[in-house]
Structure 1
Amino acid sequence: MIFVGGLPFSTEPSSSSSSQRSESDALFSLMEHPILVSASQSFKCTQERKVSALDDSDSKYVYIFQREYATVNSALVHYVGTDEATTCVGLVIQNRRNGMTSVAHLDSPTIVDIGLAQMLLLVAHNSFDAELDVHLIGGFDDVTPNHANGSTISQSHVELDGYSFPLCAKIIETLRRRQEKFHIQTLFVLGHNTKRDSQGNAYPIFTGFLVETSTGSLIPASFDRTSRCPDEIVRRIRVSSCYEDASWNGKLLETYDTQTDRFVIAPCCWTLRQLRIIKTLQHLCDAEILLTCSTSPSAEAPDFVETLRRQWNHLIKHPDWRQSFPKKQARVFERTAGGDWKRC
């Protein structure tokens, strides 16, 4: 159940409308809601924060990569965030009463149903009475130019392609269908999160954010390599590998333990097939890798290809996933007194 400005949100689809049209109508209506338009304008005017562990060693951060989620306790964690969301969507759910905050980096409609249930497990505690604040950030308007027509918000009542729109529509549809009370505070996606160059090419305005857990406030953010918490390469490899690991079908990747404030990187297996693909890709030039491996080549960060090559080098050196996850055990990291992470 969705609320905006404290009031229930609903659309009244015609009897002839398909379920897909109903999902689209709900998303378009929310995108045009005056309260959410105002919130998007305010978010757009907020200066992006460059997050580096070198600049703030006193605060406790939790960072999540694509397809991961983390539920954090404000008594243990000061900030939680993500970035690199071009056609992905960052979803924040915070319990108004106890401050428990869950953040997910969603990359496909296929993980929304189970993923949302994973997020709510510790945030709502199976209570339909919990008042939950919700923020969606990311998913720029990547529809083809003949569909975009230069509009600020994607056109309604057309067959939209791209990656962002189906994901956003699925999230909204799932929130509407569930019985919990979701108060949408920010809907900074699609047209609201899109800028265009002189040739009409679309780019996201922001690709990341940071949540202050004690207040629930959000600011746009980008993270350097020092601030992305432990085990970066293995965690990134899980993103591409989980599609071939049936144990992760429809699920977000388990990454962080709320009660102990430790990163618990659940195991994920990769196959020789993936290794063969990598050995082919690594011989391509950077431009070809970008076009082949990205859903939005013009919108990626400058280090996109470099990051892929670092992952591929690790996989070539460690072709057997059991080297990274011996006996299928999770990789566990805890904070040090100095604010770093050490493997347990």
Structure 2
Amino acid sequence: MIYVGEVPFSTDSWSSSQGSESLVALMEHPFLVSASSSFKDIPERKFSVSEESGSERSTQSRCVYIFQREYATVDPTRVDLVGTDEATTCVGLVIRNRRSGMTSVAHMDSPNVVDIGLTQMLSLVVDHNFNAELDVHLIGGFEDASPQHADGGFRSKSHKNLDGYSFPLCTKIVETLQKRREKFHIQTLHVLGHNTRWDSEGNAYPIFNGLLVETSTGSILPASFDRTSRCPDEIVRRIRVTTSFKDPSWKGRLLETYNTRTDRFVIAPCSWTISQLHIALKLQHLPDSEILLTCSTSPSAEGPDFVDNLRRQGDYLIQHPDWRNTFPMKQPRVFERTAGGGWTRC
């Protein structure tokens, strides 16, 4: 059940049960339009462990970072900040229990992971009686439809014709929130047209690609991270996102990485095949432009390090062709937090 401005949300349309109709109405809701405008005015925080390691505050900050298709539920008594970035057609979803402060953040990349993914996110956020009041924030995605559909704004009249990746994902999230029994208070809906900017040639780009949650207050701000803060186990986790698409055990699920109760990262084993190694070798010989067109859902909107990240993943696979060397005895890679807030492998 969705609430906006503390009031149950509904539409007058006969098709109010359909996610697309509800998404259109939510995008035009005055409360959420105002919230998105306010969010747009917040300066983006550029999060860097290396740059902030000298400040007294940052050395004490305990952060959890999640990659694409991952999620993490954090306890505010253990974690100060939780965030994600590198989202173009993906959506960052935040769900926070108002009473306990328990906060779950997911980086959703497909409608296929929404149903089970929401159940995963809520497992440690709500009680069994479904009485919790939950604040919800959606940030990411943009108007990535074909040029003939883009007109500089969110078009409620033609939404059924949009053929990008962002709209179906946002539709599915809204539809699923609407159907569930929990009380979801949508506070931020900075997606699609609200999160789109255009250049002089009419090309669309997301305004923000990431978010950061301050767990003690529930405050949300736009954020970007550098390589020092996308940790721990950056490359292996990136590779696991790719290999999970062909792993039936992860079908329809978000990737679990962070253990809420122990404040540890537990990277479950993943395997890669000779075929994937050959693909990595082939990509290493392609120009950047072709890698973008081959590997991205939004080639013109990717960050400057997108191709470099893919090349580093390829280098790792080439140097470690047998996945069992990365996961000896098929055991997970476990990382515990250091006194300074960083991570070290157990």
TM-score normalised by L of structure 2: 0.95
Tell me, yes or no, if the aligned pair for 2:10 and 2:16 is still in contact at 8 Å: no
**Which amino acid in the other structure matches residue 5 of structure 1?**
G
Distance 2:344 2:135 in 1: 33
Change over 3 Å in CA distance of 1:157–1:59 after alignment to 2: closer
Q: Is 2:94–2:104's contact at 8 Å kept on the other side of the alignment?
A: yes
Alpha-carbon distance in 2 for matches of 1:150, 1:51: 30
SS of residue matched to 1:123: coil
Match of residue 11 from structure 2:
11
What is the deviation of 1:11?
2.2
Secondary structure in 1 matching 2:237: helix
> Does structure 2 conserve the Cα–Cα contact (< 8 Å) formed by 1:120 and 1:126?
no
Partner of 2:55: none
Q: Map of 1:1-344 to 2, 5 A cutoff?
A: 1-14=1-14, 22-54=18-50, 55=52, 56-153=58-155, 155-344=157-346
Quote how far apart the aligned CAs of 1:112 are. 0.4
| % identical aligned pairs | 71
**Alignment partners' CA distance in 2, 1:289 and 1:57:** 37
- Structure 2 vs 1, CA of residues 59 and 146 (structure 1 numbering), >3 Å: closer, same or farther? same
Which string of whole-angstrom CA distances, capped at 9 and with x for unpartnered residues, describes residues 265-285 of structure 1? 122222222112222221101
Cα distance in 2, alignment partners of residues 320 and 155 from structure 1: 52
**Contact kept? 1:91, 1:137, Cα under 8 Å:** yes
Deviation of the 1:149 alpha carbon: 2.4
Taking a change above 3 Å as real, the CA distance of residues 257 and 68 of structure 1, as seen in their structure-2 partners, is same
Query: What is the TM-score with the length of structure 1 in the denominator?
Result: 0.96
Q: Secondary structure at the match of 1:337?
A: coil
Go from structure 1 to structure 2 and tell me whether the alpha carbon gap of 1:203 and 1:326 turns closer, same or farther (over 3 Å shift): same
Superposition RMSD in Å: 1.4
Is this contact kept in 2: 1:148–1:154, CA < 8 A? Answer: no
- Residues 18 and 9 of structure 1: CA distance in aligned 2, closer, same or farther (over 3 Å): closer
- How many corresponding residue pairs? 340
Q: Is the 8 A contact 2:239 2:313 kept in 1?
A: yes
Moved more, 70-79 or 52-61: 52-61
- Following the alignment from structure 1 to structure 2, what is the Cα–Cα distance between the partners of residues 340 and 129? 35
Structure 1: distance between partners of 2:159 and 2:197: 22
SS in 2 for 1:220: strand
Unaligned runs of 5+ in 2: 53-57
Task: Identify if the C-alpha distance between structure 1 residues 18 and 58 changes in structure 2 by more than 3 Å, giving closer, same or farther.
Answer: closer
- Pair 1:276–1:132, CA change in 2 (3 A): same
Maintained 8 Å contact 1:153/1:192: no
- The residue type equivalent to 1:308 in the other structure is L
* Per-residue deviation, 1:156: 4.0
Determine the C-alpha separation between the residues in 2 that align with 1:216 and 1:321: 39
1:147–1:155 Cα contact (<8 Å) kept: no
Deviation at 1:48, TM superposition (A): 0.3
Structure 1 unaligned blocks of 5 or more: none
Amino acid in the other structure paired with 2:138: L
CA distance in structure 2 between the aligned counterparts of 1:157 and 1:309, rounded to whole angstroms = 36
Give, in angstroms, the shift of residue 125 of structure 1: 3.0
Instruction: Report the more deviating stretch, 3-12 or 181-190.
Output: 3-12
Further displaced range: 140-149 or 172-181: 140-149
Instruction: Report how far residue 127 of structure 1 moved.
Output: 3.1
1:99 aligns to what SS in structure 2?
Answer: coil
Alignment partner of 2:36: what SS?
Answer: helix
Q: Structure 2 vs 1, CA of residues 273 and 125 (structure 1 numbering), >3 Å: closer, same or farther?
A: farther
For residues 249 and 181 of structure 1, the distance between their equivalents in structure 2, rounded to whole angstroms, comes to 27
When structure 1 is superposed on structure 2, of 331-340 and 105-114 the one drifting more is 331-340
